[in-house]
Structure 1
Amino acid sequence: MSTFAQRCGLHDAAREAALVRAERLIAGASLELVRFAWCDLHGVTRGKTLVASAARRAMEEGVGLVSTLMLKDASDRTAYKVFEPDGTASLPGFGFANNLLLMADPASFRQLPWAGQTGWVQGQPWFQDGTPVELDTRRVLQRALRRLADAGLAMRCGLEVEFHIYRIEDTREQLDPQLAGWPGLPPAVRMIHPGYNLLNDAWFDMAEEPLRIVQRTAQALGMPLLSLEIELGPSQVEAVFEATDALAAADNMVLFRSAVKQALRCAGYHASFMCRPPFPNIMSSGWHLHQSLVDARSGRNLFSRDAPADGSTPADAGYTLSRLGEQYLAGLLAHARGMTVFCTPSVNGFGRFRPNALAPQSVLWGRDNRGAMLRVIGECGDGATRIENRIGEPAANPYLYLASQIHAGLDGIAHALEAPPATDAPYGDASDRLPTSLGEALDALAGDAALAEGFGQSFIGYFTRIKRSDLQRWDSAQDKEDFERREYFSRF
């Protein structure tokens, strides 16, 4: 009798070899538990933990998950009326909190460095009839990458991730059943460094213990960590990763956030990927996404050029970028307002777009200009030539962030768009501003036909409904600071 993996069309010789390898690793390390994890719409990992003896069968037959996990807003409230007859009419296959099956990829198996005798494996949801759940955000990126592959292209991405680490002082209120709420309170914390002294070596020394945990956790999980840095804000740090293929970069971001939060928590620290933690005098955290397109076969960087375009000046995209690179850049600019909500999906994140704050305000690009939305990096003949998008917040879902870049950039290529001159005044009086709120960003997405076509109208409708639920709760919250403390600082 066939397994569920076989009925899904997943099983082949490579998968069988990966299953055997995972079994050997489980046995060789005497693991007791294996976590089956999945990334939800909000970029948060969820899943189930199985005893090790059940792992092989679970990787063949799937792990049951309630379908409402895919229908929840950022507070974990279900945004669809699943027990009403037409409550999920727009979502075929969903209804009445039915079951999905989480199918793990045995090739993703790792041993968790902070949890004793515990393994981890990444999965994606399937319907019980063996069809994939297309609303899964990892599949959204996989579909976007197939668009690139059909054109003979691939994407490489490097990550610069700013976040905050605090030492936990007290968890009594957080864990007091009399104070439980939905969402709950965060722990009481204090800073690990005082900030306002960028890249200060002494501040690194103050923060070395938690940063060592970050380093060892990332490296033990096989991530291409490049550097750890002291950022400008109090208790703010940054992790930088070498460029990888796009799907690996997104997978690494999901696992990095989850792993760092858990490993630090075990050591008495609270890591927050919330853009603006709820304290006075903090600095916003961004997630700067470096991206380039490469030839799918040779790996050659298709954004770089050997010499400036004829007649170009440093203000022209063609001075550094290939024609393909300029068209991709122009596509990102043309769809900047529509894609903002995928890059900055929280109410809190829009507080980052302030003048002279190393965060963008307007739809502009610049040559090595950290005030611009898009920063072109590299010189002629540089194989690392790339575009850095600076509108992301570190809490964004990586699969949606990257997919939005692909759909926007491909539209620029398809229509042979030309980029305007580079800005030398990123905080000047530009006419095209980025959205300043979650509601404005959702409205911009609703008016972007190319992104609707790229993501699919069904996904746009699904995503928008859930984000509107977040916005409605924010609008009705009497205490906005308490909302952000519980909604974001406690959990993201």
Structure 2
Amino acid sequence: MGKQEDFVLRSLEERDVRFVRLWFTDVLGFLKSVAVAPAELEGAFDEGIGFDGSAIEGFARVSESDMLALPDPSTFQLLPWRDNGTTATARMFCDIVMPDGSPSYADPRHVLKRTLSKAAEKGFTFYTHPEIEFYLMKDQPKVGVMPVPVDSSGYFDHTTQAEGADFRREAITYLEQMGISVEYSHHEGGPGQQEIDLRYADALSTADNIMTFRNVIREVALSQGVWATFMPKPFTEHPGSGMHTHVSLFEGDNNAFYEAGAEYQLSKTGRQFIAGILRHAPEISVVTNQWVNSYKRMLIGGEAPSYVCWGHNNRSAMVRVPMYKPNKGQSTRVEIRSLDAACNPYLAYAVILAAGMKGIEEGYELPPEAEDDVWALSDQERHSLGIDPLPRSLADAIDIAERSELLAETLGEHVFDFFLRNKRAEWAEYRREVTSFERDRMLPVL
């Protein structure tokens, strides 16, 4: 048993931990959890905890259902909202393995680790820094009842309404107690809408942190009598919730995106990475924007991108190169603005990295940047500039994804097949639904 496992076992005794929650994520990005007693943990490190994989979305068929959750001791943290001063509860993320010890083909965490390993073979480490948006509602959602935001404030507002500020303070306290560093927090543009930005970290740690973040946000909301949602577009008239993510590649201690004296200080590697993201954007959209509601957020006129293009400090572009800060070459990065706050972060970061690496490996040329407000251009003007639309709906995204070799290779055959099958079923169910829009418009006149 290694040093990290020994540290965990000592911590269990020192902090009087009574339960350890083992976390993992299904293919759609929902958090799963099993609690074990501390006495069982040493065995779990050696052999894993067995479970029925066929009961988890996308994991296995009944005939091959036996799987093991193997705790990752580097992710050990106490859950601050479960610490009563005398006893504590902890959590660890797990890798899912088969009975023979081989990685599970269905584990999203493994999909990302496999993609990171391919980049590491080329000498690259992938770092990510997400800006996560969400709404706070006054009550738990009820079918047929319009949710009410906790306030009517706007972007960066500092108000006397305490709900948002108090909420963010408690949530950030919990996150930092769990080793998750927060860079900024503020009120976003919609009423009740919040944004909390996590400090950059390697992509696997970031994905783990996002899953923890969602859990913390929901726990704090419930404790304060409100409801938090990461739904991409909960209101017709208010902005959607995105997860703009700044990304960079490092070669050792050097930022591979930085080149002194180049335009925007952006290296050839950085330009090829952006070119890869742009070329493959339509086919990876089904992962970065995986819900039928995701495409309501991406309609023209909001902060979300609708077209495949890049620009320097252009917030209407899908990919933005932020302003260079003198003497801070290591901070050179690329912001991808299409992701929403409800994606599976393991799969989303895997496909983004794969697309960017494809651009580097194949030497893609970066198209001209979009200097104008892309939303303000006509369709003809966008066409003449070579700016194509992102998928308009989940159905469009599925059709494009089905033909994607990059997506199939990155996700693996099992995840690729299950994911698209599930998305097709979601779209079919959505198409059958008669909406309030139809009833309100047509019942009075038809």
Verify same fold: TM over 0.5: yes
Change (3 A) 1:189 1:438: closer
- Which residue of 122, 128, 131 corresponds with 1:160? 131
- Which residue of 4, 29, 35 corresponds with 1:49? 35
Change (3 A) 1:480 1:52: farther
Q: Is 2:420 the counterpart of 1:449?
A: no
Query: Which residue in the other structure is 2:367 paired with?
Result: 420
Instruction: Mark the runs of 5 or more structure 2 residues left unpaired by the alignment.
Output: 438-446
User: How far is 1:98 from its partner?
Assistant: 2.6
Q: Is 2:264 the counterpart of 1:305?
A: no
User: What SS does the aligned partner of 1:35 have?
Assistant: strand
Change (3 A) 1:190 1:454: closer
User: What SS does the aligned partner of 1:202 have?
Assistant: coil
User: What SS does the aligned partner of 1:107 have?
Assistant: helix
2:79 maps to amino acid: L
- Which residue of 98, 114, 117 corresponds with 2:65? 98
User: What SS does the aligned partner of 1:36 have?
Assistant: strand
Structure 1: distance between partners of 2:113 and 2:72: 15
Query: Which residue in the other structure is 1:273 paired with?
Result: 230
Change (3 A) 1:357 1:328: same
Structure 2: distance between partners of 1:53 and 1:98: 26
Q: Is 2:185 the counterpart of 1:228?
A: yes
Structure 2: distance between partners of 1:478 and 1:186: 13
Structure 2: distance between partners of 1:151 and 1:270: 44
Q: State the Cα deviation string for residues 309-361 of structure 1 (Å, max 9, x = none).
A: xxxxxxxxx55311111111111110010011111100111101122311111
Q: State the Cα deviation string for residues 249-297 of structure 1 (Å, max 9, x = none).
A: 11111111122212321332211111112x45332111101001110x2
Q: Is 2:94 the counterpart of 1:123?
A: yes
Q: State the Cα deviation string for residues 25-78 of structure 1 (Å, max 9, x = none).
A: 111121211111111112221021123333332333322222124435xxxxxx
Across the aligned residues of Structure 1 and Structure 2, the Cα RMSD in angstroms comes to 2.3
Structure 1: distance between partners of 2:145 and 2:43: 38
Deviates most, 284-293 or 95-104: 95-104
Q: State the Cα deviation string for residues 334-392 of structure 1 (Å, max 9, x = none).
A: 00100111111001111011223111111010101111000012437632111111111
Change (3 A) 1:32 1:458: closer
Q: Is the 8 A contact 1:40 1:69 kept in 2?
A: no
Query: Which residue in the other structure is 2:290 paired with?
Result: 345
Structure 2: distance between partners of 1:227 and 1:234: 19
Change (3 A) 1:307 1:280: closer
User: What SS does the aligned partner of 1:259 have?
Assistant: helix
- Which residue of 386, 389, 394 corresponds with 2:336? 389
Structure 2: distance between partners of 1:263 and 1:63: 29
User: How far is 1:112 from its partner?
Assistant: 0.3
- Which residue of 13, 17, 29 corresponds with 1:27? 13
Q: State the Cα deviation string for residues 170-203 of structure 1 (Å, max 9, x = none).
A: x6x96xxxxxxxxxx59996432213x3101116
Structure 2: distance between partners of 1:235 and 1:319: 36
User: What SS does the aligned partner of 1:165 have?
Assistant: strand
Q: Is 2:173 the counterpart of 1:216?
A: yes
Q: Is the 8 A contact 2:68 2:99 kept in 1?
A: yes
Aligned-pair identity in percent equals: 28
User: What SS does the aligned partner of 2:337 have?
Assistant: strand
Q: State the Cα deviation string for residues 64-106 of structure 1 (Å, max 9, x = none).
A: 222124435xxxxxxxxxxxxxxxxxx9x73247321111112
1:294 maps to amino acid: F
Q: Is 2:24 the counterpart of 1:38?
A: yes
Structure 2: distance between partners of 1:227 and 1:145: 27
Deviates most, 249-258 or 264-273: 264-273
User: What SS does the aligned partner of 2:248 have?
Assistant: strand
- Which residue of 61, 65, 69 corresponds with 2:51? 65
Structure 2: distance between partners of 1:391 and 1:247: 20
User: How far is 1:205 from its partner?
Assistant: 4.2
- Which residue of 59, 81, 100 corresponds with 1:114? 81
Query: Which residue in the other structure is 2:310 paired with?
Result: 365
Query: Which residue in the other structure is 2:216 paired with?
Result: 259
Structure 2: distance between partners of 1:130 and 1:250: 23
Q: State the Cα deviation string for residues 425-482 of structure 1 (Å, max 9, x = none).
A: 322232310001111111111222233333334432222112222222222233479x
Structure 1: distance between partners of 2:122 and 2:333: 19
1:376 maps to amino acid: V
Structure 2: distance between partners of 1:24 and 1:188: 49
Q: Is 2:395 the counterpart of 1:462?
A: no
User: How far is 1:204 from its partner?
Assistant: 6.9
Q: Is the 8 A contact 1:125 1:136 kept in 2?
A: yes
Change (3 A) 1:319 1:259: closer
Tell me the TM-score normalized by structure 2: 0.89
Structure 1: distance between partners of 2:162 and 2:222: 20
Instruction: Mark the runs of 5 or more structure 1 residues left unpaired by the alignment.
Output: 1-12, 73-90, 175-184, 309-317, 482-492
Q: Is the 8 A contact 2:347 2:411 kept in 1?
A: no
Q: Is the 8 A contact 1:375 1:389 kept in 2?
A: yes
User: What SS does the aligned partner of 1:263 have?
Assistant: helix
Q: Is the 8 A contact 2:230 2:342 kept in 1?
A: yes
Query: Which residue in the other structure is 1:290 paired with?
Result: 246
Tell me the TM-score normalized by structure 1: 0.81
User: How far is 1:126 from its partner?
Assistant: 1.4
Query: Which residue in the other structure is 1:192 paired with?
Result: 150
